[in-house]
Chains A and B, each alone.
Chain A
């Protein structure tokens, strides 16, 4: 009896195993897993290695790298202007984070904003921002926000308005894209980088749910407000120049009753005036320093 039972057990085991393999093959056929994504990840060597080491805990490892990226950025930002290695780890950390968890939306957007930010607020590497966002697009090609963010980096950091307009057009073509993207792309081709468009884009970013994105946008909006104020002040200075041989100064303008007090920027730090040229600028003590590059128009 026992040999027959043993044979039956073996046969049943083989049948069950064969059934398991058949089910696996059927499932693979009916529900193909994203092998293309694995191919993409192979290009990022260290990320791929990490993904394998972490087995099925890659998303948790991505969280660890995300926290490290935030801490690293915060630490570098506070480390003072002389730190030699400032922001060197930001891109590799964000790259690893997004390789381990390719759907980590906020890591892409964080990179878009802060990798491109000029020194000392960031490493000033818009190319890395674009690389990270293009990686996001390969994973989630229908998310208009990534196209918009690439356009924004080209527009605000690289001053390449034609490329920016193309990316805004691509964003407008995605499902659920807001209706302001198409006119924005069109106006960018005509006007280039004027402050109206800049303000509009930052206002859109200021509506983000992420507090750090909102804070960054609010900071940029204050810088734009300062640019407007500087324009107004320089117009006044041109209208009321000092006597020949005299330097430009706020005291002179207050004495003439053109100004009632020393002008301050939107965060309350006094503006500086160049005594020779009369040009106005934000003080280095101001939280708004350094100001972004002055926008210009493509056509007047």
Chain B
């Protein structure tokens, strides 16, 4: 565990050195600026749009971090040849993979937490400035704690994307890894369509193939509950739990395969 922790902390420090936290400033500025601009552009609905924007920005910023740092986690060490020094130390390849993953997840956790806090500060400001008559017309309270449900699932989704990026990073170049991870991210959001493929094709084989792809590809659309929480629609804790458990198990599967591939690589 100590070895994993040391690798993870180093990944986190490296991300700070790489100026990853700068995105938090961009996030805060984006939300503050848009909260003013949107008020000028739209007839009401400011808080709904700020919620949509805040959740989408959390997701997009996290996605960029997960992909662009995730793809370099292993390949960068190989390119810089620092992998030789690392593996000569008492760190197993499994610990190395686990530590790299944990480090990036820690970076994402800090980012998502700070973005969530900034998001609630902006919402608190909107609640404070809007009169009660306007607030009465909102679908959900301004500082609705249910928004955290969407943030939670965004975080689990980012954990999954990080695991995908790390998986590709163990055997591919950074550019190809980025393309493959992004491709899988897009395909993962189309996944729900594959489930009902038999409704649009008559071929049973094609339908079975699509159903198989539905199970093999990461089901990322399930992590999207942004619309529901913004409109104050119920998202049960059972759904959150089941989706999070699915995500974490998929992450575990990807990390195990990554470890398997990485442990077979020859660095001589």
Contact = CB atoms under 8 A, between A and B. Distances in A.
Interface of A: 2, 5-6, 9-10, 12-14, 16-17, 19-21, 23-24, 26-28, 30-31, 33, 35, 38, 52, 55-60, 62-63, 66-67, 70-71, 101, 103, 105-106, 110, 208-212
Contacts of A67: 38, 41-42, 49
A209 B133 contact: yes
B246 A52 contact: no
A209 B134 contact: yes
A20 B192 contact: no
Given A63-B49, A209-B133, A211-B44, A56 B224 contact: yes
A31 B52 contact: no
Contact of A26 (B56, B242, B252): B242
Contact of A13 (B45, B220, B257): B257
Contact of B227 (A30, A33, A101): A101
Contacts of A21: 215
A175 to B, nearest CB: 16
A31 B238 contact: yes
A59 to B, nearest CB: 5
Interface in B10-54: 38, 41-45, 48-49, 52-53
B186 interface: yes
Interface string B51-75: 0110010011000000000000000
B260 A24 contact: no
Contacts, number: 124
Contact of B59 (A56, A70, A208): A56
Interface stretch (B108-116, B173-181, B229-237): B229-237
- Give the one of A16, A20, A33, A71 with max B CB within 10 A: A20
B226 interface: yes
A24 B192 CA distance: 12
Given A9-B263, A55-B189, A101-B227, A35 B253 contact: no
Interface in B232-268: 233, 236, 238-239, 242-243, 245-246, 249-250, 252-253, 256-257, 259-260, 263-264
Size bracket of the B interface? 35 or more
Name the prevailing secondary structure of the A interface residues: helix
A221 B44 CA distance: 22
B115 to A, nearest CB: 15
B260 A56 contact: no
Contacts of A13: 253, 256-257, 260
A20 B250 CA distance: 6
A38 to B, nearest CB: 7
A70 B239 contact: no
B260 A59 contact: no
Contact of A56 (B195, B221, B253, B256): B221
Interface in B94-147: 133-134, 136-137, 139
Contacts of A58: 227
A6 B238 contact: no
Contacts of B136: 209
A105 B220 contact: no
B253 A17 contact: yes
B233 to A, nearest CB: 7
A58 B59 CA distance: 13
A19 B254 CA distance: 13
Given A6-B263, A101-B227, A63 B53 contact: yes
Contacts of B224: 56
B260 A66 contact: no
